[in-house]
């Protein structure tokens, strides 16, 4: 038996022993082939999901909603948050361009693909290692976490027992592709002042626009002297936008067919069911190893991410203008836009695992937007190591340069052990063309019903 097969068998035996009790429990591991036991067209073990409460927006969140849609804050006066995070595209990019254009002239290209803002309300803060929150209040510093991770043996990721990989001492949590901020308030601050995005200019310029257009609101919320403290006024504006994303159900609607299936209110088609099984099969798609698809222990809906970072080695994207410079590399967690982990080269090439909810509405995939369809993404997953010539560039000698969007010294960080990346030339592909189509059919069940509808913006007070 091959080592990989032995590890998978051991993982299946372990998962088979972990039977979760309670109403709506999933008997994971009951099928030793790796398929969830409840994988039927109609869920025989429906859940009562604990959804976030739906309430009228607070006054603070309504202010944030107006700011979120206000293009006057940008340098050009034409770009708002919704320009890149379109409500009709699940708060993701509205088009097929790998990166969006911004700046004071609306023509400056960005450096990374725009992620969706949906389902970020449960994103944990950035850390390295397993969850450090709990009864022990002696939280480790980031430097201590990095040091601790150096001696830890990595656990294989398998869809059958994804919880086993939670102990891996790897980067996890945080926002942006590199996790460099921890709160939605901090996240807003980046694009507003980024010269390639909203390019708002100096804080004083933004402050003047806030006072001119929202002066009475700010004084009513934060006191008559709020604009005497520029930093406070800016922080409160960012906080209001963050509150809007937390409170508005449009950012976490949980209105997909999959949610309805989990709760016993929908029936999967044969193609969707086959795709779901492939998604969970550790010998096939193994998707659920990173994109967790089961409700949490306390009944909250799955977000289809484990919050961890992976070095997948996606191809270099020649459509990004910055990549015309052969010396430029986007290294994710270790730079260039995150600076505190620049020396930790074991993380170079790692990017955040995004949620797959509403993924079928996107036309730009991975941090560099190199692929533009789900079929292209899945074919790359299946054939990355079986037929690398399909995806990567060649050097002057005509040799294929695998993982060509990373400097040679960091290509060792790329995942080559977790299925389907454990294949070698001559091996059978993990998925056939028909199976890829089935997985896509399942991924389409993750689209929220209102993904193509724009919400109404609250009127000014």
Percent above pLDDT 70 for the chain? 81
Last residue of a domain, one of 229, 251, 273: 251
Nearest to 126 by CA among 175, 165, 188, 184: 175
Q: Is residue 232 part of a domain?
A: yes
What is the per-residue DSSP string for 114-159? PPP-TT-TTPPPPEESS---SS---PPPHHHHHHHHTTPPPPPP-T
| Torsion of the alpha carbons at 34, 438, 116 and 245, rounded to the nearest 10 | -70
- Residue 401, judged by CB atoms within 10 A of its CB (0-12, 13-18, 19+), counts as middle
Q: Is residue 5 part of a domain?
A: no
On whether both 381 and 293 belong to a single domain, the answer is yes
Which of 16-30, 77-91, 245-259 shows the lowest per-residue confidence on average (mean pLDDT)? 16-30
- Looking at residue 336, its pLDDT comes to 97
H helices present in 327-455, as ranges? 374-383, 433-443
Last residue of a domain, one of 201, 228, 251: 251
The model's pLDDT over 17-27, given as tens digits with 9 standing for 90+, comes to 332 333 333 33
Q: Is residue 374 part of a domain?
A: yes
On whether both 185 and 163 belong to a single domain, the answer is no
- Looking at residue 184, its pLDDT comes to 95
The model's pLDDT over 361-400, given as tens digits with 9 standing for 90+, comes to 999 999 999 999 999 999 999 999 999 999 999 999 999 9
Nearest to 280 by CA among 268, 297, 265: 268
DSSP 3-state of 19 = coil
pLDDT (mean) for 404-415 = 97
What CATH number has the domain bearing residue 224? 1.10.760.10
pLDDT (mean) for 273-278 = 96
pLDDT band of 451, cuts 50, 70, 90: low
Domain that holds residue 221: 59-120+181-251
Q: Are the C-beta atoms of residues 161 and 15 closer than 8 Å to each other?
A: yes
Which residues in 188-256 belong to E strands, given as ranges?
none
The model's pLDDT over 297-326, given as tens digits with 9 standing for 90+, comes to 999 999 999 999 999 999 999 999 999 999
Between helices 203-222 and 230-247, what is the axis angle to 10°? 70
pLDDT band of 8, cuts 50, 70, 90: very low
The model's pLDDT over 120-173, given as tens digits with 9 standing for 90+, comes to 999 999 999 764 443 344 456 666 666 666 655 566 677 666 666 556 678 999
Is the bond preceding residue 181 a cis peptide, omega within 30 degrees?
no
Structural domain tally of the chain?
A: 2
Per residue in 54-90, is it b (16+ CB within 10 Å) or e — as a string?
Answer: eeebeebbbbbbbbbbbeebbbbeebbbbbbbbbebb
Residue bearing the bigger pLDDT, 437 or 157:
437
pLDDT at residue 3 tops 50: no
Residue bearing the bigger pLDDT, 350 or 22:
350
Q: For residues 241 and 62, what is the distance between their CA atoms, to the nearest angstrom?
A: 9
- Looking at residue 153, its pLDDT comes to 57
């Amino acid at each position: 038996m091959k080592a990989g097969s032995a590890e998978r068998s051991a993982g299946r035996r372990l998962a088979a022993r972990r039977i979760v009790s309670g109403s709506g429990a999933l008997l994971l591991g009951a099928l030793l082939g790796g398929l969830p036991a409840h994988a039927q067209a109609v869920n025989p073990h429906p859940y009562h999901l604990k959804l976030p409460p739906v309430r009228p927006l607070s006054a603070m969140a309504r202010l944030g909603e107006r700011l979120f849609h206000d293009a006057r804050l940008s340098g050009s006066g034409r770009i708002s948050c919704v320009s890149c995070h379109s409500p009709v595209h699940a708060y993701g990019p509205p088009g097929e361009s790998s990166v969006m254009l911004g700046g004071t002239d609306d023509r400056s290209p960005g450096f990374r693909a725009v992620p969706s803002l949906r389902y970020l309300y449960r994103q944990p803060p950035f850390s390295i290692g397993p969850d450090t929150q709990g009864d022990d209040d002696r939280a480790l510093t980031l430097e201590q976490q990095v040091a601790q991770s150096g001696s830890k043996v990595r656990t294989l990721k398998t869809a059958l027992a994804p919880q086993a990989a939670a102990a891996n001492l790897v980067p996890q949590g945080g926002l942006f592709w590199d996790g460099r901020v921890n709160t939605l308030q901090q996240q807003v601050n980046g694009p507003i002042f980024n010269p390639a995005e909203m390019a708002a200019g100096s804080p004083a310029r933004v402050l003047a626009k806030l006072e001119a257009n929202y002066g009475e609101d700010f004084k009513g919320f934060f006191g008559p002297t709020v604009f005497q403290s520029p930093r406070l006024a800016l922080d409160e504006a960012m906080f209001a936008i963050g509150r809007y994303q937390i409170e508005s159900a449009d950012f976490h609607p949980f209105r997909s067919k999959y949610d309805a299936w989990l709760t016993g209110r929908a029936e999967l088609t044969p193609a969707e069911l086959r795709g779901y099984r492939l998604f969970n099969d550790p010998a096939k798609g193994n998707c659920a190893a990173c994109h967790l698809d089961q409700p949490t222990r306390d009944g909250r809906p799955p977000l289809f991410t484990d919050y961890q970072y992976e070095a997948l080695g996606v191809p270099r994207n020649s459509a990004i203008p910055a990549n015309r410079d052969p010396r430029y590399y986007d290294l994710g967690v270790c730079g260039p836009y995150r600076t505190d982990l620049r020396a930790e080269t074991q993380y170079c090439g790692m990017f955040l695992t995004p949620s797959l909810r509403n993924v079928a509405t996107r036309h730009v995939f991975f941090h560099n937007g190199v692929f533009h369809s789900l079929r292209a993404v899945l074919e790359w997953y299946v054939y990355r190591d079986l037929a690398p010539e399909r995806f990567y560039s060649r050097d002057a000698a005509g040799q294929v340069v695998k993982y060509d969007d990373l400097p040679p010294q960091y290509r060792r960080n790329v995942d080559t052990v977790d299925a389907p990346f454990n294949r070698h030339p001559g091996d059978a592909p993990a998925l056939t063309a028909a199976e890829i189509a089935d997985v896509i059919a399942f991924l389409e069940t993750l689209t929220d019903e209102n993904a193509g509808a724009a919400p109404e913006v609250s009127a000014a007070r």
